[in-house]
Chains A and B, each alone.
Chain A
Amino acid sequence: MFSATLRSRAASSASLQSRSLATAAAPSSSSSGEPLTHYRITLRRSAIALPMNIKGTLAALGIHRRLQTVFHRHTPDIAGKILTIKELVTVENVPESAVRTKWEQRQERKASRGYEVAGSKLGAEP
């Protein structure tokens, strides 16, 4: 138990040191044995007033607004697109299970409603 706390403390201090490169260090540690297959790309800086090829690259990646997150497979064409807009985005490697569609991301953001529907008497036998 005690050694476990020590280890977690050492891990946390290591993560503090490499905080600036957290996105780079994350893939190796965050995966639970699952292969990392996708890029998680988030637009941090707007492409306003940048050349059309940069704006077109964002559109090609399916990014339309700042702080939008999209997922793409590890392929050379996607890698090239990411490197074209490397000043504007943050990128992380994630496993297949972490991939979310736009709708799923929205559901995860939502606050809980505070109740759960246990069942309905409508349509039940009288």
Chain B
Amino acid sequence: MFGAFRPTQTNLVGLLWKTPWKLSRTRKANVRARLKQVDSVIEAVRASGVQCKALDQALELPKEHEMPPRDKYTVFSRHTKGYRKGIHKVPKWTRLTLRTNPKGF
């Protein structure tokens, strides 16, 4: 039952990577920290006093404290049942802007 040669799923079927269905508490805390970090960048640019289209668009994004948990940890997916999947299923998700979702979903 124990030991290096125990019959686990990983040993029996070869390549088997499992992505958890939802984020752990720690990963969610890291998500929030990253969102706040991005908020601070936008705030710094706003405080500098320049005006540009990119800034207007960035200011329209919801801030971390304004976002519902649903938007922080999941994204819209048209293929998934319930139209939502974990945000960690999106490639490069920690370095992308994924704050808004289609209205009603």
Contact A90 B40 (CB under 8 A): yes
Q: Would you call A39 and B44 a contact (CB within 8 A)?
A: yes
Interface hub of B38, B51, B54 (most chain A Cβ within 10 A): B54
Expressed in whole angstroms, the minimum distance between the Cβ of B80 and any Cβ of chain A is 24
- Tell me if B37 and A90 are in contact (CB < 8 A): yes
Please count how many residues in chain B sit with their CB below 8 Å of the partner chain's CB atoms.
28
Q: Which of A36, A74, A86 is B41 in contact with, Cβ under 8 Å?
A: A86
Report the separation of the CA atoms of residues A19 and B58 in the bound assembly, to the nearest whole angstrom: 22
Q: Taking the complex as formed, is B67 at the interface, i.e. its CB lies under 8 A from any CB of chain A?
A: no
The contact string, 1 if C-beta is below 8 Å from chain A, for chain B 55-70, is 1011000000000000
Cβ-based interface call for A50 (8 A): yes
A37 CB to nearest chain B CB (Å): 9
**Given A50-B95, A79-B54, A87-B96: A93 and B40 interface contact (C-beta under 8 Å):** no
Q: Which residue of A lies closest to B44 (CB)?
A: A91
- Interface flags, A83-119, vs B, CB<8A=1, else 0: 1101111111100000000000000000000000000
Q: With A50-B95, A74-B50 given, is the CB distance from A79 to B43 under 8 Å?
A: no
Q: Which A residues between 32 and 60 are near B, CB-CB below 8 angstroms?
A: 36, 39, 44-45, 47, 49-50
Q: Can you give 28 A-B contacts (C-beta < 8 A)? A: A20-B36, A20-B40, A21-B36, A21-B39, A22-B40, A24-B40, A27-B44, A27-B47, A28-B47, A36-B48, A39-B45, A74-B49, A74-B50, A76-B51, A79-B45, A79-B48, A79-B50, A79-B55, A80-B52, A82-B45, A83-B42, A83-B58, A86-B42, A87-B38, A87-B97, A91-B41, A91-B45, A93-B44
Give A contacts to B, CB under 8 Å: 20-24, 27-28, 36, 39, 44-45, 47, 49-50, 74-77, 79-80, 82-84, 86-93
